[in-house]
């Protein structure tokens, strides 16, 4: 095979992968927004066939041959084609270890499991979800063996989400966090808590929708290219860098919930929209890894969105949206309320400080499930025990316990640690950003242009042109978890006058 | 190739076709409901690739061989496989005449054209849409030659929507309608019109949404399998017989518009939901033809929905939804108002009597465009002239003129006549239904069970198991347009005391 032919196969394969992904995304988006309740079967069939076609595409001998040719001529390729070859070769290697029938059955399983999980959560009925979770764990243990038989299964899965990260690394990372954060949390426990009752007044959904529009404007999310929908569990989905969707969930008596979902998902969207269009329709399109993605979402949500200058900037506008609910409230009071650090039940609504403890619970459970040292039936009990141990709270039901997150229903085991890593990356990015420019002056005037410009230049624009490790290196330098613990210590010392 | 292998190929091919259709449908549904404005490009790429894959699937030599084997063994096949073979063979024959690149480019064109049409309609700017319409006409003229080079191009396209129907047949059909209906319309023109001002009071969208829910209940549309959305132009889309979606468009000052859209699309949905599940995931799934489909939607909309007994049955409930707006209004007044026959501008809001004149305008223009006797640039002028001639109305702008319908933007030329044929089929079905059972007693109590049962048995359940002509024969007997003109004459003679 000639190089030119190999390049054509490379291009065509990526375009098809894009189309299959777009198709699956559209079916998924429909499923979680407007699809009638009892319609999972047909969608499952469609997704399963599409997964099978994708599998066939990646295991086509012509592609294998083309990748062989491209890898031989690596020195002659431009950066784009070289990285595409690298990433696609990696996907093919991973995938060809999963037999097509298993791959298709798994696609159907995750589709069904997601549907059942929604209902199980609604009814707080783990029993309903349990048989699906058992199959999901079983598949993932098997897949881990396919991915890398030399690694422990959970390490093989972790490596899928954040290359190079393993249990040993995370055990150390989490231990470091625990060492610094637990005393901080204890110290705060002895201080009086700020009043946050005004966050739980009546906030009509229709007003909150308009407020979301405003927040998206502050994040400069172009509505001609970025939509917002409503789902049980907020998420971001990108078709292309020109077509990104975020979702949120409104609670009438909780202003901060949707507000920070919008800013969090808005951070994901900001990343996707800023990726260089030259990687469109290739495997390099979109954010480079889960960890880097979460670094961006949590950067906007916490480092910016929960900062004093940002809140001071947008608070007058907030009072226009909610004049009665926020009457008598100051920006200072609001800032303190949304940074109230207090162990709680729900990860997505946890404060910035205790958040990592929520991740640690999930990490311990995943590690044990995939490691084969724990059975699915014991998940609720273990979950509740660890929440008591780490966070000191009693879990009243599985809806607010082990059924709260969609990740496992979607087949994601090994994803959760990325949230903690992402938070740590973000803190280190802030440190570097502050050395390069005045961060807080403009943010205090509601202008995020400088922040977004810095992140676009250091992180977003590359998409998958650099590896995850290169992007982290580019924006953070050598990774140092202490940037994160320093950031939290400084912030919470000021908040609670420690 | 053995018969068994051929059957396996038949099954697998149909499952893949189902998946590609479901994927395209999900992308389309997203596009017309929630997708941000400037996102057509990526979706166009995805749809174009999917169309290419579908084309490849249908032109696969293995499929051709399998269909050959199946056709040879036709006598040994059960009805299901025999009909699948027949329909799939037909699709392959049609499709293999279109080169793959043209097919893909066309898929991308219709996606873009739909997007541009939405904007052109909004801005009432035919110039914006014109270059797309020119390309669409050009492609369809070419495709017509591929479909059947022996037929005139428009006849070849007509045959795609309603097999056996051609220009000669339609010229006769429309002439017969014109002969009976034009004098009727003239006679009505000399009578006083009923008051319908109360239909144009302020009907808040939120209440109308709830009223739609009620109407869907009356039509016994199971909401676990049938959703409702909002789009510029109402339509029905089916993923499977277990997953059907309808859409409507609400106008604050027009109750009848969405009300009859919901009943019309509800009729389409009723058909889809009633198809025998044994044809799921095959080319026989779904309604059998456009004409038969429109016969059902228009049956529910006009023959039932605008009948005196139906309105008498639901009117008390309507007054609960809209107590102020309908105060002082009686069921009798409402019945007269929604049957007001008066030449107008908008097809989808036309009354039952003048509706066919709207179709005739489109028929004449399509015939001339595809026949090559008229240029696209002349569409607005011709449209306006024919509306004056047939309906006696002046078209004030293209938004309410030649840009009002989505069909041409979607590449459908030859579809419009199906609406008129469908109406005529429906009237003949009513004649037969009335011979079989008491139609109006139960309808007058709001019970559509008998009507739906009859239609399900005579039309719906077959899906594509019978040919369109067989279904019409089964429900109507020998097609007789006079059933339609008789029905209209009787109805409007009573309404206007002619």
B255-279: pLDDT as tens digits:
999 999 999 999 999 999 999 999 9
Residue-level pLDDT at B95: 79
- Angle at which helix A40-58 crosses helix A79-95, to 10 degrees, equals 120
Helix axis angle for B79-95 and B3-33, nearest 10°, is 60
Smallest Cα–Cα separation from B44: which of A43, A246, A22?
A22
Nearest C-alpha neighbor of B157 from the set B372, B377, B405: B372
Contact assignment for B27 to A23 by CB distance below 8 Å: yes
pLDDT tens-digit series, residues B358-402: 999 999 999 999 999 999 999 999 999 999 988 889 999 999 999
0.90 cut: is pTM over it? no
- Say whether residue B385 is in contact with chain A using an 8 A CB cutoff: no
**The pLDDT of residue B424:** 95
Q: Which residues contact A188 (CB under 8 A, 6 or more apart)?
A: A341, A342, A353, A492, A496, A498
- Residue B434's Cα: distance from chain center in Å? 25
Q: Name the nearest CA neighbour of A229 among A269, A288, A289.
A: A269
Neighbouring residues of B344: CB distance < 8 A, sequence distance ≥ 6: B350, B351, B354, B391, B393
Distance CA A132, CA A216 (A): 37
Report the residue of B36, B236, B246, B269 to disrupt the A interface, i.e. the one with the largest count of A CBs within 10 Å: B36
End-to-end CA distance of chain B: 68
Give the pLDDT confidence score for residue B348 in this predicted structure: 83
The reply to whether residue B242 touches residue A39, judged by beta carbons under 8 angstroms, is yes
CA angle B173, B176, B179 (to 5 degrees): 150
When pLDDT is averaged across residues A235-252 and rounded to a whole number, the result is 97
Task: Decide if pLDDT at A94 tops 90.
Answer: no
Task: Determine contact: A30 vs chain B, CB below 8 A.
Answer: yes
From chain A, pick out residues whose CB is under 8 angstroms from the CB of B35. 227, 243
| Kind plus residue range of the DSSP H or E element containing A442 | helix A440-444
Percent of chain B with pLDDT over 70: 100
Please report the number of interchain residue pairs, chain A to chain B, with beta-carbon separation below 8 angstroms.
131
Beta bridge pairs of residue B244: B226, B238
User: Which of B30, B216, B273 would you mutate first to test chain A, the one with the most A CBs within 10 A?
Assistant: B30
Q: Which residues of B are catalytic?
A: 265
Q: Taking residues B197-213, what's their average pLDDT?
A: 98
Pairing of β A243-248 and β A236-240: antiparallel
CB-CB: which of B23, B35, B226 is closest to A50? B23
Cβ neighbours, 10 Å, residue B352: 21
A243, β-bridge pairs: A240
Between B47, B49, B226, which is nearest A15 by CB? B49
How far apart, in whole angstroms, are the C-alpha atoms of residue B37 and residue B43? 12
Cβ-contact B237, A47 below 8 angstroms: no
A27–B contact, CB cutoff 8 A: yes
What Rg, from alpha-carbon coordinates, does chain B have? 23
pLDDT at A128 over 90: yes
Q: What is the pLDDT of residue B224?
A: 97
How far apart are alpha carbons A39 and A104 in whole angstroms?
19
Q: How many CA atoms lie within 13 A of A45 on its CB side?
A: 20
A52, closest residue in chain B (CA to CA): B16
* Residues from chain A contacting residue B18 (CB–CB below 8 Å): 45-46, 49
Q: What is the pLDDT of residue A249?
A: 96
Inter-chain touch A19–B50, beta carbons under 8 Å: yes
CA B435, B440, B442 angle in degrees (round to 5)? 115
pLDDT of residue A103: 83
Phi, psi of B459 (to 5 degrees): -130, -60
Q: Which residue is closest to A46 within chain B, CA to CA?
A: B19
CB-based contact (8 Å) between A280 and chain B? yes
Q: How far apart are CA A397 and CA B135, in angstroms?
A: 60
Grade residue A373 by pLDDT with cuts at 50, 70 and 90: very high
Q: What is the mean pLDDT of residues A256-270?
A: 97
Would you say B416 and B407 are in contact if contact means Cβ atoms under 8 Å apart?
yes
Q: What pLDDT does B46 receive?
A: 96
A224 CB near a chain B CB, below 8 Å?
yes
Nearest-Cα distance to chain A for B236, in Å, is: 14
3-state DSSP of A49-61: HHHHHHHHHHCCH
Question: Which residues of chain A lie closer than 8 angstroms to B36, CB-CB?
Answer: 223-227, 243, 245
Whether A16 and chain B come into contact, CB under 8 Å, resolves to yes
pLDDT per residue as tens digits for the range B468-478? 989 999 999 98
Provide the mean pLDDT of chain A.
95
pLDDT digits (tens, 9 = 90+) for B34-73: 999 999 999 999 999 999 999 999 999 999 999 999 999 9
Judge whether B437 and B51 are in contact, CB under 8 Å. no
Q: Is B53 on the interface with A (CB under 8 A)?
A: yes
- Average of pLDDT values for A379-404? 96
Mutate to test the interface with A, among B13, B22, B213 (most CBs of A within 10 A): B22
Which chain B residues are within 8 Å of A242, Cβ to Cβ? 38-39, 41-42
A29 touches chain B (CB under 8 A): yes
Query: Who's near B437: CB < 8 A, 6+ residues apart?
Result: B450, B454
What's the pLDDT tens digit per position in B10-27?
A: 999 999 999 999 999 999
pLDDT recorded at residue B488? 96
Q: How far apart are the first and last CA of chain A?
A: 68
Distance from CA of A44 to the nearest CA of B (A): 10
On whether the CB atoms of residues B425 and B476 are closer than 8 A, the answer is yes
The pLDDT, as a whole number, for residue B302 is: 96
Query: For residue A13, what is the nearest residue in chain B, using CA coordinates?
Result: B49
The CA distance from A198 to the nearest CA of chain B, in Å, is: 29
Contact B18 A45 (CB under 8 A): yes
pLDDT value of position B260: 96
The shortest C-alpha distance from B306 to chain A (Å) reads: 28
Q: What is the pLDDT of residue A192?
A: 96
CA of A9 vs chain B CAs: smallest distance (Å): 14
- Count of C-beta atoms within a 10 Å radius of residue B167: 16
Residue A192 three-state SS:
coil
d(CA B473, CA B429): 10
Neighbours of B100 (CB within 10 A): 14
Q: Which residues contact A190 (CB under 8 A, 6 or more apart)?
A: none
Contact B243 A36 (CB under 8 A): yes
| Model confidence band, residue A98 (pLDDT cutoffs 50, 70, 90) | confident
At residue A160, the pLDDT reads 86
pLDDT band at A438 (very low <50, low <70, confident <90, very high): very high
Chain B residue nearest residue A237, CA to CA: B35
CB contact under 8 A, A42 and B34: no
CB of A38 within 8 Å of a chain B CB? The answer is yes
pLDDT of residue B104: 83
Mean pLDDT for A194-217 is: 98
Q: With an 8 Å Cβ cutoff, is B100 touching chain A?
A: no
The pair of structure tokens assigned to A250 is 């409104």
pLDDT (tens digit per residue) in A270-319:
999 999 999 999 999 999 998 999 999 999 999 999 999 999 999 999 99
| Contact partners, residue B248, CB within 8 Å, separation at least 6 | B212, B228, B229, B230, B231, B234, B258, B261, B262, B265
Distance of CA B413 to the CA centre of its chain: 13
The pair of three-digit structure tokens given for residue A187, joined into one six-digit string: 């110290």
A243–B15: do the CB atoms touch at under 8 Å? no
Q: Is the pLDDT of residue B297 over 90?
A: yes
> Does the pLDDT of residue A15 top 90, yes or no?
yes
CA distance B51 to B45: 10
A97-121 CB burial, b ≥16 within 10 A, e <16:
ebeeeebbebbbbbbbbbbbbbebb
For chain B, give the secondary structure using H, E and C: CCHHHHHHHHHHHHHHHHHHHHHHHHHHHHHHHCCCCCCHHHHHHHHHHHHHHHHHHHCCHHHHHHHHHHHHCHHHCCHHHHHHHHHHHHHHHHHCCCCHHHHHHHHHHHHHHHHHHHHHHHHCCHHHHHHHHHHHHHHHHHHHHHHCCCCCHHHHHHHHHCCCCCHHHHHHHHHHHHHHHHHHHHHHHCCCCCCCHHHHCCCCHHHHHHHHHHHHHHCCCCCCCEEEEECCCCCEEEEECCEEEEEECCECCEHHHHHHHHHHHHHHHHHHHHCCHHHCCCCCCCCCCHHHHHHHHHHHHHHHCCCHHHHHHHHHHHHHHCCCCCCCCCHHHHHHHHCCCCCCCCHHHCCCCCHHHHHHHHHHHHHHHHHCCCCHHHHHHHHHHHHHHHHCCCCCCHHHCCCCCCCCCCCCCCCHHHHHHHHHHHHHHHHHHHHHCCCHHHHHCCCCHHHHHHHHHHCHHHCCCCCHHHHHHHHHCCCCCHHHHHHHHHHHHHHHCC
Within 8 A by CB and 6+ apart from B61, the residues are none
B35 touching A (Cβ < 8 Å): yes
The chain-wide mean pLDDT, for chain B, equals 95
Using the Cβ of A100 and the Cβ atoms of chain B, whether some distance falls under 8 Å is answered with no
Helices (H), A196-344: 205-218, 255-274, 290-298, 308-321, 331-338
Residue A410, classed as helix, strand or coil, is coil
pLDDT at A161: 84
Helix axis angle for A355-371 and A126-147, nearest 10°, is 70
- CA B227 to chain CA centroid, Å, is 18
Cβ of A227 within 8 Å of Cβ of B34? The answer is yes
A223 and B CB contact within 8 Å? yes
- Residue A101: pLDDT above 90? no
Quick one: chain A helix, strand, coil %, rounded to 5? Answer: 70, 5, 30
Q: What is the DSSP letter of A254?
A: B
* Stretch B308-315: mean pLDDT: 98
Residue B412 C-alpha, separation from nearest chain A C-alpha, in angstroms? 23
Q: Strand pairing of A243-248 and A226-230?
A: parallel
Give the span between the Cα atoms of A443 and A312, in whole angstroms. 9
Of the candidates A420, A302, A303, the residue with the CA atom closest to the CA atom of residue A361: A420
CA B238 to chain centre: 13
User: In angstroms, what separates the C-alpha of A305 from chain B's closest C-alpha?
Assistant: 25
How many CB atoms lie under 10 A from the CB of residue A349?
16
Contact status of A204 with chain B (Cβ, < 8 Å): no
Joined together, the tokens standing for residue A45 give: 């069939």
Out of A84, A265, A272, A352, the active site residue is: A265
């Amino acid at each position: 095979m000639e190089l030119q032919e190999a390049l054509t196969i490379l291009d065509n394969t990526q375009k098809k992968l894009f189309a299959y992904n777009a198709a699956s995304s559209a079916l998924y988006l429909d499923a979680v927004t407007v699809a009638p309740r009892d319609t999972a079967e047909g969608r499952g069939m469609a997704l399963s066939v599409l997964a099978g076609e994708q599998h066939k595409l990646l295991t086509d001998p012509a592609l294998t041959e083309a990748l062989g040719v491209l890898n031989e001529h690596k020195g002659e390729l431009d950066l784009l084609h070289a990285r595409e070859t690298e990433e696609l070769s990696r996907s093919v290697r991973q995938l060809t270890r999963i037999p097509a029938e298993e791959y298709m059955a798994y696609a159907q399983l995750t589709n069904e499991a997601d549907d059942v999980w929604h209902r199980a959560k609604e009814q707080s009925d783990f029993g309903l979800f349990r048989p699906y979770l058992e199959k999901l764990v079983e598949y993932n243990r098997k897949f881990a063996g396919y991915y890398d038989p030399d690694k422990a299964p959970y390490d093989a899965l972790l490596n899928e989400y954040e290359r190079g990260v393993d249990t040993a690394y995370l055990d150390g990372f989490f231990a470091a966090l625990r060492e610094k954060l637990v005393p901080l949390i204890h110290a705060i426990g002895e201080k009086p808590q700020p009043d946050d009752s005004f966050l739980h007044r009546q906030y009509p959904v229709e007003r909150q929708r308009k407020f979301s529009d405003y927040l998206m404007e502050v994040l400069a999310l172009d509505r001609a290219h970025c939509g917002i929908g409503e789902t049980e569990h907020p998420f971001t989905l990108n078709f292309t860098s020109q077509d990104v969707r975020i979702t949120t969930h409104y609670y009438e008596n909780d202003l901060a919930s949707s507000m920070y979902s919008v800013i969090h998902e808005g951070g994901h969207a900001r990343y996707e929209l800023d990726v260089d269009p030259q990687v469109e329709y290739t495997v390099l399109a979109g954010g480079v890894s889960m960890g880097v993605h979460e670094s961006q979402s949590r950067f906007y949500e916490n480092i910016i969105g929960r900062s004093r200058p940002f809140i001071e900037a947008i608070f007058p506008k907030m009072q226009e949206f909610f004049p009665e609910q926020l009457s008598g409230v100051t920006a200072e009071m609001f800032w303190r309320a949304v940074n109230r650090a207090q162990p709680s039940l729900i990860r997505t609504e946890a404060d910035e400080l205790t958040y990592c403890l929520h991740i640690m619970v999930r990490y311990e459970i995943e590690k044990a499930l995939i490691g084969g040292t724990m059975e699915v039936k014991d998940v609720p009990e273990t979950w509740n025990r660890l929440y008591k141990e780490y966070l000191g709270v009693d879990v009243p039901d599985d809806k607010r316990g082990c059924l709260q997150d969609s990740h496992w229903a979607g087949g994601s085991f090994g994803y959760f640690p990325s949230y903690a890593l992402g938070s740590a990356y973000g803190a280190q990015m802030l440190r570097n950003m502050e050395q390069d420019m005045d961060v807080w002056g403009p943010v205090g005037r509601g202008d995020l242009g400088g922040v977004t410009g810095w992140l676009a230049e250091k992180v977003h624009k590359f998409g998958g042109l650099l590896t995850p490790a290169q992007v982290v290196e580019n924006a953070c330098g050598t990774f140092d978890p202490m940037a994160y613990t320093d950031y939290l210590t400084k912030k919470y010392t000021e908040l609670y006058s420690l």
